[in-house]
């Protein structure tokens, strides 16, 4: 009896561990699995069965009934053999059994069909609260795989009894979906607190955000599929993200050795993750002082939650492993001693770090390296890693617009910030609008030839007194440096006026999206689908040049006007349903311009200084200065109009 009491006391006094084999699988209360467009039930290798189209009709509200399928394709799952296509808004509604965290997984694959080219489908996906996808297109997604199979995973805290997912196609486009998962997640999967990376402090309120899974990696181990994860997650190998592989080596132990402590279960990460790790390789030097680095793409408009998974499977005794963790060059964890933290070896442990958007300038990097503490052989390990994007201030996880159309507010460093740094961008936009008005007024000009030659009467008050503006005998330069057409700001002046560039402004914000190749993300939702991407790209390139720091690097007014005219032609051709063929961008001889007048896109615009006949004004023979038909301007294009400005050199 005394022996039993001693044994019972020793068990109660010792830390509580849960063996991985004894942990029951998680059973979600909400478990909606829909194979969109399917007539036969699909069962995955992990045992999950998806409903057919007929079994889920009560959850879908749509004006059209477009279902497509293929008999076979090079896809990893039967979920990608069928799809639903929507030409107008469509909504899936789910009645929730309980509030709390839920996985939302959306499966996309643009399977071939005769109804609509799904590779061209562009659409938004929203819930009642969150924007999940904005102007989404499978071909434009940079993280997409070569076979175009795509799965978006979100973790949302759903508090309503009814949860809806809305698909909204862009103008003249369509939306599609192959499969939907709405599944309950454990309440303790996301706690309310984490460590803030910079400034180092505690971050409160994680439960108020929505999350998108960006990366989930098994360090030093193989692919872990949903079959081996009780929450249906997939963990990818870290090979594609690790830098300098020769500095790291993989290690592993049996999963039965992993002992989960009280409060941590395989729901956080399966034992397969904690049973593998990456550690420092032997560099064959006396002082091994280097870091192992993983690099990831990330958008600098969002904050990120980085979850680091640790389990000391390399030490032979306690107190032998101390190391540091860095995120984007900042100390995230200093002198981590796993054996002291969890009081043992082979015991899982994880740490959540929040990285503010201001620290995400060039993606994300995670590094581990040895501590400076004298603790024997230097080493560092990492078992698993998760990177999750946090929703922004308008509850969007993609782009700058919320469900209600509200846009993310940009900060400022004082009243001079936007006024000075955005001057170039503002002038660019004004010139673009002005150019449109000029071309419109030119097309509506009087047909009287005398009024036609009165160029300055309808265009701009430039050289209004020069009646020979249209003549080749104009001997005066159109630009005079004493006219005060612009002022050069020194870098110091801009730095002082913008408070050392401490905050984001309109110009910075726009150029950040341009550099990421995502200009379409800042288009007003009401205009999405009506703007030619090539025109928008050209406009963005011109705006970026106008914002160069030094005046000599900025384009001349002639260059600016040419770029704007080219962007306008691309947009006009797009609006008329005649996209410009870049492969046939040829300059038509001046004798052919009138013949091609009915197709503005047929005339390619060349830069002002391009040494071709089309880039120079037509020479008017002597004695014909007064001829009313000298140097006619095409009725359909503003190209020749801009030729008159090609000599402007102001910046």
**pLDDT digits 0-9 by tens, 367-391:** 999 998 867 788 999 999 999 999 9
Give CA–CA dist 46/234, Å, rounded.
Answer: 12
Among 429-433, 588-592, 644-648, the minimum mean pLDDT is found in 588-592
The pair of structure tokens assigned to 135 is: 């102007």
User: What average pLDDT score do residues 498-512 get?
Assistant: 59
Q: What is the tens place of the pLDDT at every residue in 626-635?
A: 444 434 434 4
3-state secondary structure of 425: helix
Q: How many residues does the chain have?
A: 651
CA-wise closest residue to 90 among 215, 177, 195: 177
pLDDT band at 522 (very low <50, low <70, confident <90, very high): confident
pLDDT band at 206 (very low <50, low <70, confident <90, very high): very high
Give CA–CA dist 462/445, Å, rounded.
Answer: 18
The pair of structure tokens assigned to 51 is: 């409903």
Structural domains in the chain, CATH included, are 31-185 (2.60.120.430), 193-390 (2.60.120.430), 415-643 (no CATH)
In this prediction, residue 100 carries a pLDDT of: 96
Give CA–CA dist 339/259, Å, rounded.
Answer: 13
User: What average pLDDT score do residues 632-641 get?
Assistant: 46
Among 252-256, 596-600, 637-641, the minimum mean pLDDT is found in 596-600
DSSP 396: B
In this prediction, residue 127 carries a pLDDT of: 98
User: What average pLDDT score do residues 314-341 get?
Assistant: 94
Who's near 12: CB < 8 A, 6+ residues apart?
A: none
Give CA–CA dist 425/440, Å, rounded.
Answer: 23
In this prediction, residue 647 carries a pLDDT of: 52
Place of tokens 């701009």: 460
- For residues 465 and 323, the model is more confident at 323
With a cut of 60, say whether residue 114 has pLDDT above it: yes
CB 134 within 8 A of CB 141: no
User: What average pLDDT score do residues 431-437 get?
Assistant: 58
DSSP 582: G
With a cut of 70, say whether residue 156 has pLDDT above it: yes
**Secondary structure percentages of the chain, helix, strand, coil, to 5:** 25, 25, 50
In this prediction, residue 133 carries a pLDDT of: 97
pLDDT band at 356 (very low <50, low <70, confident <90, very high): very high
- For residues 487 and 202, the model is more confident at 202
- For residues 437 and 321, the model is more confident at 321
Helices (H), 529-600: 533-546, 557-575
The b-or-e profile of 3-35 (16+ CB within 10 A means b, else e) is: eeeeeeeeeeeeeebbebeeeeebebebebbbb
In this prediction, residue 140 carries a pLDDT of: 80
In this prediction, residue 25 carries a pLDDT of: 84
Give CA–CA dist 461/397, Å, rounded.
Answer: 47
- For residues 551 and 111, the model is more confident at 111
CA dihedral sign of residues 329, 359, 217, 270: positive
Helix axes 506-515, 423-443, angle to 10 degrees: 80
Tell me the whole-structure pTM to 2 decimals: 0.66
Task: Please count the other Cβ atoms lying within 10 Å of the Cβ belonging to residue 326.
Answer: 18
Q: What is the tens place of the pLDDT at every residue in 472-494?
A: 444 444 444 444 445 556 655 55
3-state secondary structure of 514: helix
- For residues 526 and 239, the model is more confident at 239
In this prediction, residue 430 carries a pLDDT of: 59
In this prediction, residue 544 carries a pLDDT of: 80
With a cut of 90, say whether residue 357 has pLDDT above it: yes
* Phi–psi pair at 279, nearest 5 degrees: -130, 170
In this prediction, residue 415 carries a pLDDT of: 36
pLDDT band at 287 (very low <50, low <70, confident <90, very high): low
Q: What is the tens place of the pLDDT at every residue in 569-589?
A: 888 777 776 444 444 333 333
User: What average pLDDT score do residues 614-621 get?
Assistant: 38
With a cut of 90, say whether residue 255 has pLDDT above it: yes
The pair of structure tokens assigned to 230 is: 């009780």
With a cut of 60, say whether residue 597 has pLDDT above it: no
Give CA–CA dist 218/544, Å, rounded.
Answer: 40
- For residues 286 and 513, the model is more confident at 513
In this prediction, residue 552 carries a pLDDT of: 60
Give CA–CA dist 492/549, Å, rounded.
Answer: 11
- For residues 429 and 126, the model is more confident at 126
CB 425 within 8 A of CB 546: yes
User: What average pLDDT score do residues 609-618 get?
Assistant: 39
3-state secondary structure of 199: coil
With a cut of 50, say whether residue 99 has pLDDT above it: yes
3-state secondary structure of 524: coil
Among 135-139, 147-151, 178-182, 506-510, the minimum mean pLDDT is found in 506-510
pLDDT band at 536 (very low <50, low <70, confident <90, very high): confident
CA-wise closest residue to 236 among 208, 214, 211: 214
With a cut of 70, say whether residue 12 has pLDDT above it: no
Average pLDDT over all residues of the chain: 77
Q: What is the tens place of the pLDDT at every residue in 37-85?
A: 999 999 999 999 999 989 998 999 999 989 999 998 889 999 999 999 9
In this prediction, residue 408 carries a pLDDT of: 84
With a cut of 80, say whether residue 564 has pLDDT above it: yes
CB 269 within 8 A of CB 348: yes
DSSP string, 133-165: EEEE-TTT-TT--TT--EEEEEEEEE-SSEEEE
Strand pairing report for 90-95 and 162-169: antiparallel
CB 295 within 8 A of CB 243: yes
Among 105-119, 125-139, 563-577, 626-640, the minimum mean pLDDT is found in 626-640
User: What average pLDDT score do residues 285-302 get?
Assistant: 87
In this prediction, residue 546 carries a pLDDT of: 84
In this prediction, residue 431 carries a pLDDT of: 58
In this prediction, residue 510 carries a pLDDT of: 74
Q: What is the tens place of the pLDDT at every residue in 73-93?
A: 889 999 999 999 999 999 999
In this prediction, residue 487 carries a pLDDT of: 54
pLDDT band at 335 (very low <50, low <70, confident <90, very high): very high
In this prediction, residue 440 carries a pLDDT of: 54
CB 115 within 8 A of CB 87: no
In this prediction, residue 498 carries a pLDDT of: 53
What percent of the chain has a predicted confidence (pLDDT) above 70?
66
């Amino acid at each position: 009896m005394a022996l039993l009491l001693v044994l019972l006391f020793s068990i109660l006094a010792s830390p509580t561990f849960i063996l991985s084999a004894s942990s029951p699988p998680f059973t979600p209360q909400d478990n909606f699995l829909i194979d969109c467009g399917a007539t036969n039930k699909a069962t995955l290798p992990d045992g999950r069965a998806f409903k057919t189209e007929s079994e889920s009709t009560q959850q879908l509200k749509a004006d059209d009934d477009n279902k497509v399928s293929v008999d076979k394709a090079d896809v990893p799952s039967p979920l990608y053999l069928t799809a639903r296509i929507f030409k107008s808004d469509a909504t899936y509604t789910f009645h929730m059994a309980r509030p709390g965290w839920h996985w939302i997984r959306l499966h996309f694959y643009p399977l071939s069909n005769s109804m609509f080219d799904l590779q061209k489908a562009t659409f938004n996906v929203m819930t009642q609260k969150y924007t999940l996808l904005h102007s989404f297109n499978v071909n434009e997604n940079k993280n997409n795989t070569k076979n175009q199979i795509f799965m978006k995973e979100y973790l949302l805290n759903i508090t309503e009894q009814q949860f809806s997912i809305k698909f909204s196609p862009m103008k003249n486009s369509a939306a599609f979906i192959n499969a939907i998962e709405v599944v309950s997640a454990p309440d303790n999967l996301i706690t309310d607190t984490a460590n803030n990376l910079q400034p180092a402090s505690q971050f409160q309120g994680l439960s108020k955000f929505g999350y998108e899974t960006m990366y989930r990696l098994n360090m030093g181990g193989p692919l872990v599929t949903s079959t081996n994860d009780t929450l249906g997650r997939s963990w990818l190998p870290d090979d594609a993200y690790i830098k300098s592989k020769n500095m790291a080596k993989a290690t592993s132990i049996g999963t039965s050795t992993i002992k989960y402590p009280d409060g941590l279960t395989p729901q956080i990460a399966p034992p397969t993750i904690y049973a593998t790790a990456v550690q420092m390789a032997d560099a064959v030097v006396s002082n091994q002082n280097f870091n192992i680095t993983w690099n990831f793409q990330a958008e600098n408009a969002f904050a990120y939650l980085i979850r680091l998974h640790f389990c000391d499977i390399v030490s032979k005794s306690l107190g032998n492993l101390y190391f540091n963790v860095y995120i984007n060059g900042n100390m995230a964890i200093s002198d981590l001693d796993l054996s002291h933290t969890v009081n043992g070896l082979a015991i899982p442990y994880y740490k959540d770090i929040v990285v503010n958007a201001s620290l995400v300038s060039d993606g994300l990097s995670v590094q581990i390296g040895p501590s400076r503490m004298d603790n024997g052989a230097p080493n560092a390990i990492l078992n698993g890693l998760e990177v999750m994007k946090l929703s922004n201030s308008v509850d969007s996880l993609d782009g700058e617009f919320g469900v209600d159309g509200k846009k993310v507010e940009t900060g400022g460093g004082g009243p001079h910030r936007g006024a000075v740094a955005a001057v170039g961008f503002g002038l660019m936009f004004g010139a673009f609008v002005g150019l449109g008005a000029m071309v419109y007024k030119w097309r509506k000009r009087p047909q009287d030839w005398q009024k036609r030659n009165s160029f300055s009467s309808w265009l701009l008050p430039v050289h209004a007194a020069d009646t020979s503006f249209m003549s080749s005998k104009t001997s005066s330069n159109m630009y005079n440096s004493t006219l005060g057409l612009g002022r050069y700001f020194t870098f110091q002046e801009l730095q002082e006026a913008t408070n050392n560039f401490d905050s984001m402004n309109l110009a910075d914000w726009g150029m950040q999206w341009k550099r990421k190749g995502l200009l379409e993300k800042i288009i007003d939702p009401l205009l999405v689908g009506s703007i030619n991407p090539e025109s928008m790209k050209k406009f963005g390139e011109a705006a970026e040049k106008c914002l160069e720091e030094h005046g000599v690097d900025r384009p001349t007014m002639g260059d600016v006007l040419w770029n704007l005219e080219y962007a306008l032609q691309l947009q006009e051709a797009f609006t008329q349903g005649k996209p410009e063929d870049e492969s046939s961008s040829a300059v038509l001889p001046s004798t052919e311009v009138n013949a091609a007048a009915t197709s503005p896109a047929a005339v390619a615009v060349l830069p002002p200084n391009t040494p071709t006949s089309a880039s120079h004004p037509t020479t008017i023979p002597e004695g014909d200065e007064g001829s009313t038909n000298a140097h006619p301007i095409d009725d359909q294009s503003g190209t020749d109009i801009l030729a008159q400005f090609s000599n402007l050199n102001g910046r």
